[in-house]
Amino acid sequence: MHSRGFFSSFENTDPPLTWIDTTDLGRDGTPRAAGATLTTREGRGPAKPATAKPRVGFTGLRALRYAGSHTAQGPGTVTNKLFLLELPITEHTELSYVILPEPRGDDLRFPSTYVAVDLAFSDGTYLSDLGAADQLGFPLTARGQGESRALTPNQWNIRRVRLGVAAGRTAVRALLTYDFPDGPAEYAGWLDDITITDRPPRQPTRPVEYVVTTRGTDSTRGYSRGNTIPATAVPHGFTFWTPVTDAGAQGWLYTYHRHNNDQNLPALEALAASHLPSPWMGDRQTFQVLPSVAPKTPSTRRRKRKLTFRHANEQARPHHYRVRFTNGVVAEIAPADHAAILRFTFPGEDANLVFDNVNRHGRLTLDPGAVAAVVDRRSSLLPAGVVAVDGEFAAGDPVDLIDQNGDAVARGLVNYDAAELPALLGRSTRDLAATLGAGYDREVVHRDDLVVLRP
């Protein structure tokens, strides 16, 4: 905690809970609980969230677990204290948090949503007494949040509340309250990223500034929250331009949270042109580019080249996409009617761009001798040097030539259909011509149709 604000994501580097499983005391010194219990402690995050990555927080690796039993018939309420604060509130102070209420059994009253963060002030008042409302206009009280029906169970929901109603007071405790009118019930969920900070209201001057294009991307095949991509595009433009978290996909190009890495960070594998009408329809044609600060020649492999970032460092607008990766590189996209302008800002001397596309047509794996022939001697690729064939392609299609580590070393136009090649592998052109006929002495990829990717 410092004087200018408060933040905890319940990570090892954040302020720890001041109190674990501890009921708040009222002004008269009695525990603020009636007919319900509540435990509040740090944990690993939800086990089976609908679209988020499981067993991590919304950010970071940890979150606050809340869980309790409502034993009374009719109303029950309980308030736990979480953090000790000493925080003056101004007209611009904002409280925010993310909350994931878990469904309990098949209880469609969703008692887990009747939960809200509250603040106790030094004058003995509570935020929940002051008529504060969340960003949707619903009361920021536990009862008001549940009755709003606006908290989606099993999803991370953000709640923002401007604290101007409490300006001039000093927050001394952060609290969590459950308040449900119709017990008995069981309830539980997760809380993360409690933030109290001065945030002057933003005043958008143009309609596009109201739009966040990543909205709708926290989707899976099983649960759509929009199934969108964060496209930058001009109205009726010829192409979309989008960041891509799975550069091997032609459907779900960008996943907001679920495919985060071990540190719960998202990563981009490309910035791409797209015509995607829907993830169920799939894209057609692709063009991908990604900056790299790898010294010498960067790896083209998706898992090696991808760059992590935080959504907080991502501005996703219809007219401008900008992300600052954790390695300091900044990538930006501004769309035009038939193309886009991309700008990359590198922190140091090593500055590369990796170009790629989603290639489902074919990959030929080369033995080391063939890699040397193609890369070092710029020779044509012959059947004898190919050890494996992957994918679907016809003669004339582009294919990737990869080494036995899986790295693409060249790309070229293949002279055979995929179905023809397996019978030819490892055999000399002379042998093939003798046994299969004159047409089979041709190269797999002619040197004139090759682009070497590795110098």
**Binding pattern for the stretch 130-169 against Ca ion, x by CB under 5 A and - elsewhere:** ----------------------------------------
- Could you count the other beta carbons within 10 Å of the beta carbon of residue 54? 11
**Binds Ca ion (CB under 5 A): choice among 6, 8, 40, 57:** 57
Minimum CB distance to Ca ion smaller for 10 or for 241: 10
Among 17, 49, 52, 60, binds Ca ion (CB under 5 A): 60
If the CB atoms of residues 9 and 112 are measured against Ca ion, the closer one turns out to be 9
Token pair for residue 432? 């093939």
CA distance 444 to 229: 38
Interface positions, 281-320, toward Ca ion (CB under 5 A): none
Question: Which residue, 9 or 288, has its beta carbon nearer to Ca ion?
Answer: 9
Residues 6+ apart with CB under 8 A from 49: 100, 154, 155, 156
SS3 assignment, position 316: strand
**Interface segment toward Ca ion; rule CB under 5 A; list 1-9, 82-90, 180-188, 373-381:** 1-9
Q: Which listed range, 5-13, 65-73, 110-118, 293-301, lies at the site for Ca ion (CB under 5 A)?
A: 5-13
CB of residue 386 to Ca ion, shortest distance in Å: 49
d(CA 218, CA 230): 11
Among the residue ranges 17-25, 52-60, 93-101, 441-449, the one whose residues contact Ca ion (CB under 5 A): 52-60
CB of 56 to Ca ion, least distance (A): 8
Output 60 or 266, the one with its CB closest to Ca ion.
60
192 versus 400: smaller Cβ distance to Ca ion: 192
Number of residues this chain uses to bind Ca ion (CB under 5 A): 5
Q: Which is nearer to Ca ion, 98 or 273 (CB)?
A: 98
Which is closer to Ca ion, CB of 7 or CB of 19? 7
| Residue 45 sits in the site that holds Ca ion (CB under 5 A) | no
Question: 10 Å Cβ neighbour count for 153?
Answer: 17
Q: Compute the least distance from the CB of residue 335 to Ca ion, in Å.
A: 34
Q: Choose among 360, 281, 344, 349: nearest CA to 307.
A: 344
Binding string, residues 17-36; x marks residues near Ca ion by CB under 5 A? --------------------
CA distance 315 to 1: 28
Comparing CB distances to Ca ion, the nearer of 191 and 307 is 191
Which CB, 62 or 70, lies closer to Ca ion?
Answer: 62
**Per-residue CA distances from 329 to 345, 346, 348, 354 (Å):** 6, 5, 9, 14
Q: Among 56-64, 305-313, 334-342, 356-364, which window interacts with Ca ion (CB under 5 A)?
A: 56-64
Residue whose Cβ sits closest to Ca ion: 57
Closest CA to 397 of 362, 364, 423, 429: 362
Q: Under a CB-based contact definition with an 8 Å cutoff, are residues 452 and 378 in contact?
A: yes
The distance of closest approach from Cβ of residue 336 to Ca ion in the complex, given in angstroms and rounded to an integer, is 39
Does residue 365 touch Ca ion according to CB under 5 A? no
Contacts of 13 (CB under 8 A, 6+ apart): none
**Is residue 9 close enough to count as binding Ca ion by CB under 5 A?**
yes
**Rounded distance, CA 268 to CA 259, Å?**
11
* Closer Cβ to Ca ion, 128 or 157, answer by number: 157
Rounded CA-CA distance 96/222 in Å is: 29
Closest CA to 228 of 243, 207, 209: 243
User: Please, what is the minimum distance in Å from the beta carbon of residue 9 to Ca ion?
Assistant: 3
Residue 60 CB, nearest approach to Ca ion (Å) = 3
Q: Which of residues 174-233 bind Ca ion (CB under 5 A)?
A: 192
Q: Taking the CB of residue 284, how many other CB atoms lie within 10 A of it?
A: 10
Q: How far is the CB of 192 from Ca ion (least distance, A)?
A: 4
| SS3 of residue 423 by DSSP | helix
Q: Least distance from C-beta 95 to Ca ion, angstroms? A: 17
Q: Cβ contacts of residue 399 below 8 Å, gap of 6+?
A: 359, 361, 362, 363, 364, 391, 393, 411, 412, 413, 414, 445
Cβ proximity to Ca ion, 259 vs 301, nearer residue:
259
Residue 17 DSSP one-character state: P
Q: In whole angstroms, how close is the CB of 96 to Ca ion at the nearest point?
A: 13
In whole angstroms, give the CA distance from residue 245 to residue 230.
11
CA 426 to CA 384: how far, in whole Å? 4
Interface residues toward Ca ion, by CB under 5 A: 9-10, 57, 60, 192
